[in-house]
Amino acid sequence: MTDTPAEQGLPPALRFLKGLVIVLMITMIAGVITITAVLVTRMPDANAAPTLPERITLPDGKEAEAVTIGKGWVGVVTRDGHFLIFGADGALRQDVEIAP
């Protein structure tokens, strides 16, 4: 005399939705693993520091406002509107006037 109802399975629409959620979860996990692997293998060496000259001497009357480093050169923006480009040895290569 058991009056417990027989256990029924999920409705077909709900089973389909459950399958879609599982497929989406697997796809997202694979995507995160792939992106992580690509970033780890494609990133340049994070410990490689740029090479800086031992000394940079600004011309008289120039005051540095910003500095940028490129491959083989260092750029200095001065307060009076000039962009000074120094070589890897610290010698001034070019002086470009920036229009106000």
Question: What digits encode the pLDDT tens for the residues 41-58?
Answer: 887 666 667 777 888 889
pLDDT at 47: 66
- Per-residue tokens: 49: 């520091």
**Sequence spans of domains, the chain:** 10-47, 49-100
* pLDDT of res. 1: 56
Q: Report pTM.
A: 0.53
Residue 36 pLDDT level (bands cut at 50, 70, 90): very high
Give the C-alpha separation, 25 to 30, whole Å: 9
Q: What is the pLDDT of residues 48-100, one digit of tens each?
A: 677 778 888 898 989 999 999 888 899 999 999 999 999 988 899 999 998 76
Q: How many CA atoms lie within 13 A of 68 on its CB side?
A: 7
